[in-house]
Amino acid sequence: QKEVEQNSGPLSVPEGAIASLNCTYSDRGSQSFFWYRQYSGKSPELIMFIYSNGDKEDGRFTAQLNKASQYVSLLIRDSQPSDSATYLCAVNRNFNKFYFGSGTKLNVKP
Amino acid sequence: SAVISQKPSRDICQRGTSLTIQCQVDSQVTMMFWYRQQPGQSLTLIATANQGSEATYESGFVIDKFPISRPNLTFSTLTVSNMSPEDSSIYLCSVEEGDRSGYTFGSGTRLTVV
């Protein structure tokens, strides 16, 4: 079983819609959770991090964490074509030990 | 957030040769991390580089193949030795933000071995 699982996609949504990206992790001891965006040919850039159960909002982005279900999601409201990228979920299990999912490719259609 | 300069940005190398990748950070950091991202894949941690001590390698990666230097708190190098086409990948260095808010990545080195 992989440490972090994501649907590879592609996930296609129309411009202005809500994009929902999901991630599950295997280790209940995981402590912190991160979402990265990676444009083709570029390095990952951090979008959000979340440590506690519940929702965390930052602009158009909302991260949701449910530790009981070992599930973390990222919602992108009012999706724009510029949001089209691969989104990587990362889980910090032990101190400074990151595990990345394989990423979900998002296509936002104009 | 930290600013990381990584070079070279890309290179095409002959098999059997070695390439050294450099990462310079604009602030002092305790640990630097080296990742590999193979085509269409996610990131895999190669090793963690601490200043003043030997790097810690992840399973499947060895020092002879990927020697790492960490001479000070702002700089590190990763060498890919005796390269084969299977080493063709993107190599990224990374540092943790001081407030534990995540990791920042360098711009990456796209390596092609022919």
Max Cα-Cα span within chain B: 42
Write the burial class of residue B13 (CB in 10 Å: 0-12 exposed, 13-18 middle, 19+ buried).
middle
Task: Kindly report the number of other CB atoms within 10 A of residue A30's CB atom.
Answer: 20
For the cut 70, the answer to whether the pLDDT of residue A96 exceeds it is no
Q: What is the DSSP letter of A83?
A: G
pLDDT in tens, B70-98: 999 999 999 999 999 999 999 999 998 76
pLDDT in tens, A54-83: 999 999 999 999 999 999 999 999 999 999
Q: How many CB pairs below 8 A link A and B?
A: 40
Give chain B's contact residues with A (Cβ, < 8 Å): 1, 31, 33, 41-45, 48, 92, 96, 100-108, 110
pLDDT in tens, A2-51: 789 998 889 999 999 999 999 999 988 888 899 999 998 889 999 999 98
**Which pLDDT score is estimated for B42?**
84
Distance CA A72, CA A27 (A): 13
Query: Residue B99: pLDDT band by 50, 70, 90 thresholds?
Result: low
Cis peptide before A81 (omega within 30 of 0): no
Share of chain B above pLDDT 70, in %: 96
Q: From chain B, pick out residues whose CB is under 8 angstroms from the CB of A95.
A: none
For residue B67, the SS3 value is coil
Which residue, among A96, A99, A105, would best test binding to B if mutated, counting the most B CBs under 10 Å from its CB? A96
**Which pLDDT score is estimated for A95?**
62
Q: From chain A, pick out residues whose CB is under 8 angstroms from the CB of B108.
A: 42-43
**Which pLDDT score is estimated for A12?**
97
* B41 contacts A102? CB cut-off 8 A: yes
With contact defined as beta carbons under 8 Å apart, do A50 and A32 qualify? yes
With contact defined as beta carbons under 8 Å apart, do B39 and B64 qualify? no
Angle at A99 between CA A96 and CA A105, to 5 degrees: 135
Q: From chain A, pick out residues whose CB is under 8 angstroms from the CB of B103.
A: 34, 46, 90, 98
> What is the H or E stretch that residue A74 is in?
strand A71-76
Give B4 to chain A, closest Cα distance, Å: 11
Distance CA A16, CA A53 (A): 27
